[in-house]
A and B are shown apart, each in its own frame.
Chain A
Amino acid sequence: MKKNLPLTIAFIMGWLGILLDYIPHKASEVLMTSITKGLMVTIAIVAFLGLYSLLNMHWIKIKRKNAGWGYSLLVFAGFFFMLIFGLYNQGDYFWKAQVEQGMVEWIYTYIFTPCQETMFSILAFFIASAAYRTFRAKSMEAGILLVAAVLVMFGVVPISGKIWSGFPEIAQWLLEYPNMAVKRAIFFGIALGVVSMSLRIIFGIERSYMGGEG
């Protein structure tokens, strides 16, 4: 029951997913719409489990006073700071549609946005460091990679067009022909991989989504 029931459900839902796509009847379309809409709601409810896991991890750190537990307090501080204003909703509270302007937007614009943008912009520095220290033409293949990278890096910026109009054209050609051919071959592989993995899930061969024994 603990194993067979989920496997049976996966089998039925899997076949529904395949067959509903091929049946052109109105009833099939209605069923497909209902199932997709329902799963969208389910996914949203399940998303809160991830939030719980993160907060629980930091709570345990604080309870056990593990190294860096003070920083975990800041996680909760940030969480409640945003949550309180979000649920207060400028006086309308959380049972009405979200009010457009307000403190949530301020926190989003001046705390959340700069943090997220900055975290990802740090990568620019690391890519420069990595390019200098490790990007070496140690073999012919590495040399081809290096030449292609330099040609594209140079060709995509407007300054290359100022030096010679051929540079942007070379970069564009590399993207539209050899690069495109490789990506297409990779797409064929991805599609075959997705089909094979999906069939394994539907037929119960692949069971990793069920987690451990329990």
Chain B
Amino acid sequence: MIQKLFNIDRRIIFAFMFLSVLLPFLVKFDLPIEADKNVRTVYNKIEEISKKDSGGIILMSFDYDNSTKAELEPAARAILSHAFLKNVKVIGMSNWPNGVTMAKTIMEDIAKEYDKKNGVDWAYLGYKSGAGLLMLNLSMDFHGAFPTDTRGEKIDQIPLTKNIRTIKDIDYVMSLSAGSGGIEEWIIYSQSKYNYAFAGVCTAVSAPDYFPFLQSGQMHGLIGGLAGAAQYETLINKPGTAIDGMRPQSVAHLVLIFFIVFGNVCYFVNKNFDKKKERA
């Protein structure tokens, strides 16, 4: 029996996994979501920037693509909503070529919701190759790195970007990152040199890797994974896909913990049984 359970067809496990995600969508229940201090730091910084006379400017670097869209897009939408609600201006850019259309769509959607004007309240500069080279280049010469935005308009003539010479003219830089060519490169090639406020929004896979940057002060705040996005949605009081996703996330985790514990129980029972058999 134990052997049968050990060698269970993996398609049955797949089916359990699928149901553990689908069923919580159909059965609604409330979950307490409380923002941790790293998420709160990002929120508080945007609130602080919004109090500036000029309204403040954020640079959001969309360093991810569709492979991690489900994790990072909710946070991107929540942060953009927060910024636009508080009349903070946003400049978007990308280090990952496959995420360009996605990033542009997100900015356009949220800007439309808050009636924000392209070129005045927000701008999307698009993609340039080079990752670390780009980050270093735009930190020193913003107009040189991105001569035009994605509409072909020169950024030294667009009202939002014409007075930005270097990275220090931006109040808060954020990288929404899925891996290489994202948060770590921003810190290595730009933040450590120019010492500005920098926050990371990352996939849960890479979140544990960035805690040293948080403790050293190189990173100002961190929103990790879908759970971090749900916490941010709670702070801005705008429930979205992240909060909705917490029910299936919780149930799926419980199912996986059950699999791990059950697998180990079966393993130890089987081990004891084999030992007794040997002694007999």
Contact = CB atoms under 8 A, between A and B. Distances in A.
Direct contact of A and B (CB under 8 A): yes
Given A97-B151, A121-B70, A183-B212, A43 B129 contact: yes
A149 B251 CA distance: 16
A158 B208 contact: no
B145 A129 contact: no
A120 B70 CA distance: 10
Nearest to B5: A132
A40 B16 CA distance: 47
B249 A157 contact: yes
Interface of B: 6, 8, 10, 13-14, 16-18, 21, 31-34, 36, 65-70, 98, 101-102, 104-105, 128-130, 133-134, 136-137, 140-141, 144-145, 148, 150-152, 204, 207-209, 211-212, 214-215, 225, 227, 230, 246, 249-257, 259-264, 267
A156 B230 CA distance: 11
Interface of A: 29, 32-33, 36-37, 39-41, 43-44, 47, 96-98, 100, 104-105, 108-109, 112-113, 116-117, 119-121, 124-125, 127-129, 131-133, 135-137, 146, 149-150, 153-154, 156-162, 168, 172, 175-176, 179-180, 183-184, 187
Contact of B17 (A37, A96, A108, A125): A125
B34 A180 contact: no
Given A97-B148, A137-B264, A161-B32, A183 B250 contact: no
Given A116-B67, A179-B211, A128 B17 contact: yes
B256 A128 contact: yes
B140 A33 contact: yes
Contacts of A146: 260, 264
A136 to B, nearest CB: 5
A162 B32 CA distance: 7
